[in-house]
Amino acid sequence: MFRKCPSLVVGYFRYNCNAKSLSLLRCSRSCSSLEPKQTSNLGACVWCSNTRRSHMAMARQVNVAVVDSLYMNHLNRYYESIFKKSTPNVEVNFRTIPENGDMKEGFSDAEVILMSPHGLKISSEISKTTKWIQWTWAGVEPLMNEKIRRDLEGCIVTRAAGIFGSQMAEYAIGAVIAMERGLPTCYQQQIEKKWERPSGYRNLSTLSIGILGLGDIGLHIAKVCSQLGMTVYGLKKTATQCEHVEKVFTSDQLAELIKLSDYICNVLPSTPETKEIITEQMLETCSHRKSRFINIGRGDVVKEETLIKALKNGWLSGAFLDVFAEEPLKKSSPLWSIENVVVTPHIAGRTYHESTAKLFFHNLEKYLKNEKLDYIVDFDAGY
């Protein structure tokens, strides 16, 4: 029984109904009639001529399992206000998969899954019906497990990207300004009720920054730093020139990049190639510049003991650390109490559900057109 329902999907057809009550039998896939079948004891339902004509186009049905109810409001809002108007011959049926409910049942007929990490607990239940999985994190380390990779075999997997650049750039430039102006020291002095000016600071236009990783996030950081007058160096797989970057280095030139940089900002993902890519010997060369380290990529680019040694020996004169090889950071770690080190709990890039919903529908349009999706996970490369 429906009351004044503005939209009702029956079988593979859409009907608009303003009747006070209406009961419909499901039209089968092979049903040749475009009219709903009504039981004899029901009142009349008025169909407008425009609606009748719209029945002629059979809607493409897409069942989407959403493994996090927090996304539903944004998905529904974007679907109703934008996607449905621009793609009228597609019906997207969302189903929330509760974390503590029957997730297996929710996956059974899902062609597409919007997947957050807790959905991986039953990745083996993903059916052959599933063709595409949109991952809600930028980092894909949880997907690299061999069992998970086998469970996802045959599916296109895309990661959340293109939505974190501005946030990460704000963190990075905020860290640079905070360290140059001595804000961590000022905060400590406030606790001690001590009025003492920190040592003089440098203008950003006199400083250089080496950005490790020139993907979407790295290029956002490069743009902001360049516009504030900093000299920007960057690290990536190939030495092709990038806008806002003075010089691009490859991994075999990392030591040279570090030697040139007043600030080293890591945004690299965690892969076999990037693990412990920053060595003790490289950090020792920072001593002449007293460089500072900002880590908003992944914590395993440098061993924790190596970083601690560089800070205690004065090779690095400070650090803003948002990511660690093991999270949360152990309370016994010396990083908590080293002077001029700021520890933050993995907050540089926050997942905004609205941004993820827009990304999902952008890729869904491409999926429906059989176009290549954005940000496909390369399991061999590890990102």
Single pTM value for the model: 0.83
Phi-psi region of 64 (alpha: psi -120 to 50; beta: other; left: phi over 0): beta
Q: Which CATH superfamily is domain 60-162+352-368 in?
A: NAD(P)-binding Rossmann-like Domain (3.40.50.720)
Whether residue 288 lies in the annotated active site: no
Q: How would you write the pLDDT of the chain (383 residues) with one tens digit per residue? A: 323 333 333 332 333 333 333 333 333 333 334 444 443 333 333 333 344 334 434 789 999 999 988 999 999 999 999 999 999 999 999 999 876 656 667 788 999 999 998 889 888 889 899 999 999 999 999 999 999 999 999 999 999 999 999 999 999 999 999 999 999 999 999 999 999 998 889 999 999 999 999 999 999 999 999 999 999 999 999 999 999 999 999 999 999 999 999 999 999 999 999 999 999 999 999 999 999 999 999 999 999 999 999 999 999 999 999 999 999 999 999 999 999 999 999 999 998 999 999 999 999 999 999 999 999 999 999 99
Cβ-defined contacts of 335-343 (< 8 Å, 24+): 335/304, 335/307, 335/308, 335/311, 338/308, 338/311, 338/312, 340/179, 340/184, 340/185, 340/311, 341/311, 342/175, 342/178, 342/184
Instruction: Give the active site residue among 55, 95, 346, 353.
Output: 346
Instruction: Give the active site residue among 99, 276, 326, 327.
Output: 327
Shared fold status for 60-162+352-368 and 165-343:
yes
Whether residue 118 lies in the annotated active site: no
Instruction: Give the active site residue among 14, 220, 292, 298.
Output: 298
Domain ranges of the chain: 1-57, 60-162+352-368, 165-343
Whether residue 3 lies in the annotated active site: no
Domain 165-343 coded CATH 1.10.3190.10: no
Q: How many residues does the chain have?
A: 383
